[in-house]
Amino acid sequence: MRRAVLRRADLFFRLQLLVLLLLAGCGASPPKPPPEPRLRLQAQEVEASAARRYVQGDYSAAARHFAAAVRLHLSLDDVSAAARNRLQLAQAQLALGQAKKALEQTDLVREENLQVPTLLLQVQALLALNEVDAAQALLLRLDGLCGASCAERGRVRLLQARAAWSGGDAALTLTQADAALPLLRAQQEDHEVANAWRLIAAARLKLADASAAMQAAQSALDIDRQLALPEKITRDWLLIGDILRRAANPDAGAAYRRAQSVAQAAGLEALSQLAAEALKETP
């Protein structure tokens, strides 16, 4: 009898001990991860700031911040992060019309996993510099690297359309841009979808299909308004003016004035001048 009582007491003691251990485990907080080093946090913050400025259309500030992020990541021997920021810097420089500088930045990127975005930017820069043959050569490489299942396939198609346009082939431009549209929509690339519509409008106009050209230009304008991009909105109104003028429509002047108004409000002097020149040529 006494032995049974002792066994029960021992079991009760063990159960109490287990409960105490479980309670202690529940109350203990997990060990905190060590804080990020100051310079790494600074590099991440500068890169995030650059990205915000790019989205807002402040390309000059974005370029400065991306350049600073490149330097910070290089100082930490983070080559991959530095390469990523070089490409973002090149994108901002392209938006500023600095194609040569953008090309110089992309030439410094050697990472295997960044081949496709690097080539995409290089083709854009070469087309901006009117080096169509060199751009076509890189597009052949891109076509091999970025096949049907590639996430960037829509961008490749759009660049093929731009190259065709630079080469004066409106029919091929239209074919490639039409093929790019559903791919870009699938990736929710609204900015590039608008670019595709603008290219389609220009090609349709050259092929003397003013009605389809106007529909495409209006589609581009609708998207660019949603994205709040004054430069693109100005270009859309300039294109609409061109379409109306080709059709001898008296509303062409109003479209050019609309383009000029947007450009002046946004401080886009070169585009404002383009609109002023178009107005002079419009009856």
What is the rounded CA–CA span in Å between residue 237 and residue 263?
10
pLDDT at site 270: 93
Nearest Cα to Cα of residue 105 among 122, 117, 120: 122
Q: How many CB atoms lie within 10 A of CB 20?
A: 10
Structure token digits, residue 274: 């383009």
What is the rounded CA–CA span in Å between residue 143 and residue 49?
33
pLDDT at site 6: 42
User: Tens-digit pLDDT profile for the chain (283 aa)?
Assistant: 445 444 554 555 555 555 455 555 554 455 666 677 888 898 899 999 999 999 888 899 999 999 999 999 999 999 999 999 999 999 999 999 999 999 999 999 999 999 999 999 999 999 999 999 999 999 999 999 998 899 999 999 999 999 999 999 999 999 999 999 999 999 999 999 999 999 999 999 999 999 999 999 999 999 999 999 999 999 999 999 999 999 999 999 999 999 999 999 999 999 999 999 999 999 8
Q: What angle do CA 55, 57, 61 make, to 5 degrees?
A: 95
Name residues whose C-beta falls within 8 Å of residue 58's C-beta, 6 or more positions apart in sequence. none
pLDDT at site 39: 86
What is the rounded CA–CA span in Å between residue 117 and residue 114?
6
Question: Rg for the chain (alpha carbons), in Å?
Answer: 29
pLDDT at site 5: 42
Asked if 163 and 139 count as a contact pair (C-beta separation under 8 A), the reply is yes
